[in-house]
Chain A
Amino acid sequence: MINRLEIYSNINAGSGNEENIVDQIKKDIKGKVKDIEINPIGNLIAKLPGKTNKNILLTAHMDEVSLMVRDIEENGLIKFSPIGGFIPKILPATEVIIGKKKIAGAIAIKTLHFSSPAELSTADEIRDMYIDIGASSKAEANGVQIGDYIYFKSKFFKQGSYLFGKAFDDRAGCCAITETILSGPYDVSIYASYNVSEEVGLRGGYVCGFDVENLLFNLNLEGTTCSDREVEQTYSPSTELGKGPAFTIMDNSSIANRKLLNFAIEVAKKNNIPYQFKRTITGGTDSGAIALTESGIASISLSVPVRYIHAPWSIIHQQDFENYIKLAIAIVKEAHNFKL
């Protein structure tokens, strides 16, 4: 389980550039599912028939926040644009890998010695930043192309019960679907959609629920914000690490279907799996797009808490991750009993 997360997390796949993770997931599930298809915008759809033809839609997104090469300047420096939401101040002095040729470099930082006190206490804007690959001319930077994806160099590791790496949002969810499929079949049939381009506006989410027959509900598996480390908490910590996977009641994109939410909570209780609620309403997930598909789909999001999300390094708790997958599987096992 942890090994799979390591593999998924280390794969580089930004919004619109999901091939590498698609290949890995295909490899992991192909012996188990009935068929795998790639829909017109790139979602990977896998079906695992159950005892009944009632479907549940399992979703997670494959893309991670990344950057893209916007221009290569005459002096060999590389301008870039974000793909997904970043706080600019986490970027300077970060090691990155660019494009298919995996050119190494770093996001540059204005040297301390030339910076005024005002500059040192104000974050730079992304449009003013650039990446340095050690080149001194455009010719020397010829391994880099406009449009290349740029990724954080972070590699997964485990320290105690804590898992460190990038892209847990939402490779954790991809792992949860894969593990759920591999633990099947179930009474219900699984219609799994590993979605593309969530980070740029739930693109995969908008189309994944279309034309799914006999659909009971959608369980969307995510990684969510966790901000529990400030000593003086002046706001809700959103979620807390180690206290179990989190249900979203409401965020910027959706309000969870209450019947479905209550059903899932009962499953957690029955199976003695700890859970918590996400206690901020910021952010949005594919769940919001799925809920509004066709004439409406009952949808909830279950998330693993991720400290320092959308940053070069995130931390999750091993137990949260294990309980998250356990709970996803338990919900699927009981899904045939759900009534709207």
Chain B
Amino acid sequence: MEQYDAFISELLKIPAITGFEEKAAKFIEKSMKPFCDKVEIDVMGNVIAYKKGNGKNKARLLFETHYDQIGIMITKIEENGILRFTNIGGINKKALPGKRVKIFGKEEVYGIIGTKPPHLMSEDEIKKIDPINKLFIDCGYDKKEIEKIVSVGDIGLIDFEPQKLVGSSYMSAGFDDKAGAIVLYMAADLLSKMPPYHDIYFCFSVQEEVGLRGAKTAAFAIDPDYAISCDVTFGDPVGNPIKLSIGKGPAIAFGPGHTPSFVKKIKEIAEREDIPYQLEIEPRPAGTDAAVIQISRKGVRTALLGIPLRYMHSQVEIINTKDLYRAAKLYANIAVSEELLAKEQEKKDDK
């Protein structure tokens, strides 16, 4: 696992705010090159890496994840130099007061989301969580100073420092869904030692957080027979209706958004390979790229692997790196499984 440390910490440090993923795209492109036959960045910013399969009856498999993360955008510079901002993607406003923000202006600049001192707050103010448009960022600077660095439209992140925790837990902003990107990277690495039977398209998609956009065009372009998306899912230890846990393996989703026969086979492979997994009920297709891939072109057989994560859409998202590796192993074993698709393939051939 240590061999992935450098990739993980570097990817987590590169901002990939929805719609502004370019830097991360280049890093992923560079990182995937050694493992793949071809890597390209498409018009949307999706990074698509292709690895040729050696099977006779091979299919086109799409291994997909999004790599964009939620962020903020500066909307106004007030007369006294404080900055107003809005969210890009769903930010939990409860995670904001008092936190440090990094803004990507002409240079990187830090600001604090200001609050009144406790000594000056009324009872009501203490209890109330302000909407984002009432909050402000204080970089210290007055208007003249800050305007030299920051402009309206600049983007930023709630600041964080990726941090290894006890056991194999890891905390960072942006694990949604850099976790998936790490999984695909690990899977590509594994497949360089176990050649795939099928043609594999690794797709790192953009703009998931604002409506599953990158995956829509990528799925069209790739035209896969099968697709497995990897996204994060709810592993919160408290107040979590989904009842998944971090560290117990990726969650294989089932429900109308996923092809039952395909999901069954993925479970069989997981069992055969002794890869721990959990099951997630998804009663309606929504919320992940798998939902748009499923209805691409004439329809695609899809499945979804969820990486359990605590505190989604906050800067302190926590995952377990073992789950990432297990998901990668599952992907790799699917890629080499000839028998996996035999029946489906026969049906196709019959037509």
B342 at interface, CB cutoff 8 A: no
**A68, B128: Cα distance in complex, Å:** 25
**A34, B247: Cα distance in complex, Å:** 58
- For A238, the chain B residues whose CB sits under 8 A away are 117, 120
Q: How far is the CB of A326 from chain B (nearest CB, A)?
A: 21
**A162, B99: Cα distance in complex, Å:** 17
- Asked whether A109 lies within 8 Å of B94 as measured between CB atoms, the reply is yes
- Asked whether A87 lies within 8 Å of B82 as measured between CB atoms, the reply is no
- Asked whether B170 lies within 8 Å of A134 as measured between CB atoms, the reply is yes
Q: How far is the CB of B253 from chain A (nearest CB, A)?
A: 15
* B15-23, B186-194, B198-206, B238-246: which lies at the interface: B238-246
Q: How far is the CB of B109 from chain A (nearest CB, A)?
A: 7
B126 at interface, CB cutoff 8 A: yes
Q: How far is the CB of B134 from chain A (nearest CB, A)?
A: 10
B114 at interface, CB cutoff 8 A: yes
Partner of B140, one of A108, A140, A160, A227: A160
- For A111, the chain B residues whose CB sits under 8 A away are 92, 234, 236, 239-240, 310-314
A133 at interface, CB cutoff 8 A: yes
- Asked whether B136 lies within 8 Å of A312 as measured between CB atoms, the reply is no
A105 at interface, CB cutoff 8 A: yes
Partner of A112, one of B97, B121, B312: B312
**A133, B95: Cα distance in complex, Å:** 17
**A92, B95: Cα distance in complex, Å:** 6
- Asked whether A312 lies within 8 Å of B99 as measured between CB atoms, the reply is yes
Contact digits for B218-247, partner A, Cβ 8 Å, 1 yes 0 no: 000000000000000010111111000111
- Asked whether A109 lies within 8 Å of B92 as measured between CB atoms, the reply is yes
Contact digits for B70-81, partner A, Cβ 8 Å, 1 yes 0 no: 000000001110
* Chain A interface, DSSP helix/strand/loop, else mixed: loop
- Asked whether A160 lies within 8 Å of B145 as measured between CB atoms, the reply is yes
* A13-21, A119-127, A190-198, A292-300: which lies at the interface: A119-127
Contact digits for B114-142, partner A, Cβ 8 Å, 1 yes 0 no: 11111111000011110100001011110
- Asked whether B163 lies within 8 Å of A95 as measured between CB atoms, the reply is yes
Q: How far is the CB of A22 from chain B (nearest CB, A)?
A: 27
Contacts of B72-110 to chain A: CB distance below 8 A: 78-80, 82, 90-95, 97-100, 109-110
B273 at interface, CB cutoff 8 A: no
Q: How far is the CB of B167 from chain A (nearest CB, A)?
A: 5
Total interface residues in chain B, CB < 8 Å: 66
**A173, B118: Cα distance in complex, Å:** 20
- Asked whether B114 lies within 8 Å of A135 as measured between CB atoms, the reply is no
* A43-51, A177-185, A302-310, A328-336: which lies at the interface: A302-310
- For B313, the chain A residues whose CB sits under 8 A away are 111-113
- Asked whether A311 lies within 8 Å of B115 as measured between CB atoms, the reply is yes
- For A1, the chain B residues whose CB sits under 8 A away are none
- Asked whether A123 lies within 8 Å of B127 as measured between CB atoms, the reply is yes
Partner of A135, one of B97, B128, B167, B240: B167
A53 at interface, CB cutoff 8 A: no
- For B115, the chain A residues whose CB sits under 8 A away are 87, 89-90, 308, 311
- Asked whether B128 lies within 8 Å of A93 as measured between CB atoms, the reply is no
**A153, B315: Cα distance in complex, Å:** 14
Q: How far is the CB of B69 from chain A (nearest CB, A)?
A: 14
Total interface residues in chain A, CB < 8 Å: 70
- Asked whether A134 lies within 8 Å of B169 as measured between CB atoms, the reply is yes
- Asked whether A77 lies within 8 Å of B238 as measured between CB atoms, the reply is yes
- Asked whether A227 lies within 8 Å of B112 as measured between CB atoms, the reply is no
Q: How far is the CB of B284 from chain A (nearest CB, A)?
A: 15
* Chain B interface, DSSP helix/strand/loop, else mixed: loop
Contact digits for B293-316, partner A, Cβ 8 Å, 1 yes 0 no: 000000000000000001111111
Partner of A133, one of B90, B112, B131, B166: B166
**A317, B310: Cα distance in complex, Å:** 37
- For B114, the chain A residues whose CB sits under 8 A away are 229, 307-308
A259 at interface, CB cutoff 8 A: no
- Asked whether B94 lies within 8 Å of A93 as measured between CB atoms, the reply is yes
Contact digits for A94-114, partner B, Cβ 8 Å, 1 yes 0 no: 110000000111111111111
Q: How far is the CB of B72 from chain A (nearest CB, A)?
A: 14
**A1, B310: Cα distance in complex, Å:** 42
Q: How far is the CB of B141 from chain A (nearest CB, A)?
A: 6
**A121, B91: Cα distance in complex, Å:** 13
Nearest 5 CB-CB pairings of A with B: A134-B169, A134-B165, A162-B140, A90-B98, A93-B95
**Which chain A residues have a beta carbon within 8 Å of chain B's beta carbons?**
75-77, 85-90, 92-95, 103-115, 120-124, 130, 132-136, 140-141, 143, 153-154, 157, 159-162, 164, 225-227, 229-231, 235, 238, 241, 280, 282-283, 307-315, 317
17 contacts between A and B (CB under 8 A): A93-B95, A104-B163, A106-B171, A110-B94, A114-B236, A122-B129, A123-B126, A132-B316, A134-B171, A135-B166, A136-B245, A140-B166, A143-B166, A225-B120, A229-B136, A282-B120, A283-B119
Known: A230-B116, A238-B120. 14 other contacts (CB 8 A): A87-B97, A90-B97, A106-B316, A109-B92, A110-B236, A111-B236, A111-B310, A120-B92, A124-B94, A133-B165, A133-B166, A226-B117, A280-B120, A308-B98
